[in-house]
A and B are shown apart, each in its own frame.
Chain A
Amino acid sequence: MNTLTNRAKQVNRSPMTFLESIYLWEIFKGMFITFKHMFKKQPTIHFPEQTRPYSRVFRGLHVLNRDEEGRERCTACGLCAVACPAEAITMEAAERLPEEEHLYREEKYAAKYEINMLRCIFCGLCEEACPKDAIYLSETFAPANYNRKNFIYNKQDLLIPNPTTETELLAKAKGETK
């Protein structure tokens, strides 16, 4: 029969000699191989202490952005909720009062903004849909929790620290300081 490749090997089916049949030599060979592995470098990444670097385009936990003056960018247009294939985003809009101009960038803002992290599929379509650069997917992922309720992230969980007042926290979130 013609072989497809030239790598085919004839299997030796001759009966074992006595020395072969007590397996000792083969076992010694195997033990030598495992012995060599004692001195090999472990490829393990010790997870909580060491982490694998994420890609620049990694789609992790969402953040709600603020502008340079620390005002929330979100205007509660609802485009992210529409774009979301998993229907994980809900929000309630409210009108900005005159004395709240330092808090919200646009005249309308999200009074309530929730993402259900159990529904979210981390596709990043909300990020693409947003006309105000308000929602981004960060490089961390949702941590485990004991309670389903705690997987619904509200605005406090999602908003980034204020760049004018909470500079330290922001630097920490960006991973610039430890």
Chain B
Amino acid sequence: MTVLTIDWILLIEKLALIIIIIFASLGIALYTTFAERKVAAILQDRPGPNRAGPFGILQPLADGVKMFTKEEIIPTHANKWLFILGPGLAMVASLMTCAVIPWGGTIELFERKINLQVADVNIAILYIFAVVSLGIYGIMIGGWASNNKFSLMAVLRAASQAISYELAMGLSLIAVLMITGTLSLGEMVKQQQAGYWNIVYQPLGFLIFFICALAECNRTPFDLPEAESELNFGYHQEYSSMKLGFYLFAEYINMIMSSAVMATLYFGGYDIPFVDDAKLFTSIGNWAALIQVAVILTKIVIFIFVFMWIRWTIPRFRYDQLMNLGWKKMIPLALFNMLITAFIVLLKHNGWKF
């Protein structure tokens, strides 16, 4: 008699998927650091890191070894447990996001349909927002535990920035939710596969979401929490060795995850452009799913490139400019976008033809 039957194969399957996704995102993050330096170099007419291996391809490994072998310093007056918890929390929060992102269609292996999404929860987008907001705790705890006024100032900035930009982000997201009528990311991608990508309906919403994503990732021009020139690297000033590495890594993983979310919400997720995915599945089977994974990765790479391109183009905002932009420009625009979308959705519900 079995009271609770557990589908062990499902468990193993999901576990394998989780491990693959986590290692893949760590690997991509590793090479994103390299890409960042290369992109910066190319935009500034210089060759960039090119000594470790051909074209400097082994540079991230060299950086990793450097990070691991550096001295681990915990300041005497720091709160030791929180000091260690900070980077760990930042890392965990940024990795947790990847659970709900649909990385591709379904693969058929050993007569089982494997969905390339760890958890197809029907409130995926809410989950992402919750986890992203947790990410700020990693920064705040780290900065607070450092017992350093620059770090504290930096986390105050980080917190206020995250709050002000999450509002506009949520408002721009509501417009998407009104169009799709679902909170599940998998469902959203399926709708976009059938019709047009959401960017067609929501250009302004995407722009606001993109700007807010920049702010959420603490990327230039919104990198006030780690402003080198004003705050001595802000919240990770007291950090050294791999704890610093974790913070930097978490930032890059955040970048990848927000790119993935943007690709899923506005650019059709794993939808292959100009191709009918369903037909492709009947003709080449599992390969189609792999192509879809490649497609979403390509979209992510393009987004990351744009992130870097912006970073190496414009300087940091001043704090008052940041707040002005967030509260006086982004939120009204997002509200406007939301109202217009709501109006049109309402008209459509009442049988108007466009």
Interface residue? B24 (CB, 8 A)? no
Chain B 206-226 per-residue mask, 1 if CB under 8 angstroms from chain A, else 0: 010000000000000000000
B297 CB to closest chain A CB (Å) equals 22
Interface residue? A38 (CB, 8 A)? yes
Interface residue? A34 (CB, 8 A)? yes
Question: Which residue of B47, B310, B324 is within 8 Å of A42 (Cβ)?
Answer: B47
Question: Which residue of B45, B313, B333 is within 8 Å of A40 (Cβ)?
Answer: B45
Is there contact, CB below 8 Å, between B313 and A27?
yes
Q: Name the B residues within 8 Å of A41 (CB-CB).
A: 45
B214 CB to closest chain A CB (Å) equals 11
State which size class the interface on B falls in: 10 to 19
Q: Name the B residues within 8 Å of A31 (CB-CB).
A: 309-310, 313-314
Contacting A at CB under 8 A, from B30-60, are 42-47, 50
Is there contact, CB below 8 Å, between B329 and A18?
yes
Interface residue? A22 (CB, 8 A)? yes
Question: Which residue of A23, A34, A42, A46 is within 8 Å of B309 (Cβ)?
Answer: A34
Interface residue? B130 (CB, 8 A)? no
Question: Which residue of B45, B46, B314, B325 is within 8 Å of A22 (Cβ)?
Answer: B325
Chain A 8-51 per-residue mask, 1 if CB under 8 angstroms from chain B, else 0: 00000000001001111001001101110110111110100000
Q: Write the chain B residue with the least CB distance to A27.
A: B314
Is there contact, CB below 8 Å, between B329 and A22?
yes
Is there contact, CB below 8 Å, between B42 and A38?
yes
Q: Write the chain A residue with the least CB distance to B208.
A: A22
Is there contact, CB below 8 Å, between B325 and A30?
no
Is there contact, CB below 8 Å, between A34 and B45?
no
Bound: A23/B330 CA distance, A: 12
Q: Write the chain A residue with the least CB distance to B207.
A: A24
Q: Give the number of residues in A that approach B within 8 Å (Cβ atoms).
A: 19
Interface residue? B312 (CB, 8 A)? yes
B171 CB to closest chain A CB (Å) equals 15
Is there contact, CB below 8 Å, between B43 and A30?
no
Q: Name the A residues within 8 Å of B42 (CB-CB).
A: 37-38
Bound: A34/B312 CA distance, A: 8
Instruction: Assess A44 versus B325: contact at CB under 8 Å? Given A27-B314, A31-B309, A34-B309.
Output: no
Q: Write the chain A residue with the least CB distance to B42.
A: A38
Q: Name the A residues within 8 Å of B312 (CB-CB).
A: 34
Q: Name the A residues within 8 Å of B310 (CB-CB).
A: 27, 31
Q: Write the chain A residue with the least CB distance to B306.
A: A31
A23 CB to closest chain B CB (Å) equals 7
Bound: A22/B334 CA distance, A: 13
Instruction: Assess A37 versus B325: contact at CB under 8 Å? Given A27-B314, A30-B313.
Output: no
Give 5 nearest A-B pairs by CB, closest first. A34-B313, A30-B313, A34-B43, A31-B313, A22-B329
Bound: A132/B309 CA distance, A: 62
Q: Name the B residues within 8 Å of A18 (CB-CB).
A: 329
Q: Which of A22, A24, A30, A46 has the most CB of B within 10 A?
A: A22
Bound: A21/B320 CA distance, A: 12
Bound: A20/B80 CA distance, A: 47
| Inter-chain pairs besides A21-B324, A46-B50, 4 sampled, C-beta below 8 Å | A30-B313, A31-B313, A42-B45, A44-B47
